[in-house]
Amino acid sequence: MSDLFFLPDLRAAAGSLPWHALLLLGAALAGEAVNRWLRLPRMLGWIAVGAALGPHALGALDEAGLAQMAPILDVAVGVVLFELGQRVDLSWLRRNPWLLGTSLLESAAAFAAMFGVLVALEAPPLIAAVAAAIGISTAPTVVLTLARDLRAQGQVTERVLLLTALNCAYAFIAVSVLLSWAAREHALDWHAAVLHPLYLVFGSLLAAALFAAVTLLLLRLLGRRHDAQFLCVLALVAAAVWAADTLRLSTALTLLAYGVGTRVLDRQRLFVALSFGRVGAILLILLFALTAARLDWTLLAAGAVAGGVLVAARMAGKALGVFAFAPVSGLPLRKASLLALALTPMSGIAIVILHDMAKLYPQLGPSLAAIVVSAIAIMELLGPLLGHFALVRAGEAAADGE
């Protein structure tokens, strides 16, 4: 044996396989397979591999491994929200106020429908409200990735991005307000109940404005060199995620507003062509896979019925909002029905919110999670499919599935 000392010790090596690299490899391959043979969105492959390797299935990635990746995930979520914020044109709301109406109604109706279902299922009202508030948001990762991969352009695409940005903002504000109520119930004084949401909302907006101003200042100094711009913004997004976390602000709202801010303040349009390119794509794959890994799919069996009803109620609420104002906002009914479908994806953000909440108020966690997680699990698979279907059928994809 000793004369073969240079050979590796395979038994020891098996314990330290680079699972993250394998995850990335598997997700990339599965994504391509799903895209090529099934002509479906790549993200379904990423999700499947993440779920398979996660602690609730094969267990190749354990909780500790996931925790290790958490900072990268936070940056990935930050990048997505920033990019969504940047794509959104808030001045459109001024030119077409019915869109604001659509946004408020679809969010309110989705909230009411989910709240009703959850209360009927005998969930405590407060927990029902928090879960319903989480459900207001459409998954920014899904709609942004779909729009980009399909190179989709048109009214359904533009509107789903705008409505998503807005409903993510509402969802966060609503969740933060409800959490303060929860805080009061759990014997914290009323100051916290009032000041906490205010601090979250205004603190996040202020931080976003500061970051946006600094970003534009730096970009102006850098001039029009795209590589430098991209690195600079990626670093600043990571810094903003860290700042929001440290100041205990809302990461979601801060990054969304940061993206909006860079667009609003960029009067010379120096900064519009920015994209996160390949690094952004890798972050997205990890985000989808690791989010799916975190989901406890075993809850799906237990909560499937309640979750399914919840999902249906949410879709009905969103459809109501979209249809009510479709004609006056200049959207034909056919496109309105596709827009309603495109709004259904629900994933990343909901889990982030759930996680944030569990950290702050551990008392709330488990009973809420059981119902919402199964709804999320259903939407995790259904959402990308429906969104993909909607954009392709609307005739807004540059090439089917490519």
Burial class for 135, CB neighbours closer than 10 Å (0-12, 13-18, 19+): buried
Angle at 204 between CA 201 and CA 210, to 5 degrees: 140
Residues 262-281 that bind other proteins (CB under 8 A): 263, 268-270, 272-273
Would you count residue 154 as binding other proteins (CB under 8 A)?
yes
Position 228 contacts other proteins (CB under 8 A): no
Decide whether 279 or 398 has the Cβ nearer to other proteins: 398
- Nearer CB in complex with other proteins: 294/335: 335
Interface region with other proteins, contact rule CB under 8 A, candidates 126-134, 135-143, 325-333, 382-390: 325-333
Residue type present at position 169: A
Nearer CB in complex with other proteins: 210/218: 218
Residue 74 or 83 having the CB closest to other proteins: 83
Position among 17, 29, 153, 195 found at the interface with other proteins (CB under 8 A): 153
* Interface with other proteins (CB under 8 A), residue from 39, 186, 191, 224: 224
Binding positions for other proteins, 376-395, rule CB under 8 A = 395
The window from 9-17, 149-157, 178-186, 227-235 that contacts other proteins (CB under 8 A) reads: 149-157
| Stretch touching other proteins by CB under 8 A, among 104-112, 130-138, 187-195, 261-269 | 261-269
CA 58 vs CA 55, 286, 387: distances in Å:
6, 18, 29
| Site for other proteins contains 89 (CB under 8 A) | yes
Label residue 167 exposed, middle or buried (CB < 10 Å: 0-12, 13-18, 19+): buried
Judged by CB under 8 A, the residue of 74, 158, 356, 380 near other proteins is: 158
CB of 280 to other proteins, least distance (A): 16
Number of residues that bind other proteins (CB under 8 A): 26
CB 140 within 8 A of CB 164: yes
Q: Taking CB under 8 A as the rule, does residue 96 contact other proteins?
A: yes
Distance in Å, CB of 103 to other proteins, minimum: 14
Stretch that binds other proteins, among 84-92, 229-237, 250-258, 357-365 (CB under 8 A): 84-92
Among the listed residues 58, 214, 279, 398, the single contact to other proteins using CB under 8 A? 398
Binding site for other proteins (CB under 8 A): 86-87, 89, 91-92, 95-96, 151, 153-155, 158, 224, 263, 268-270, 272-273, 329-330, 332, 335, 395-396, 398
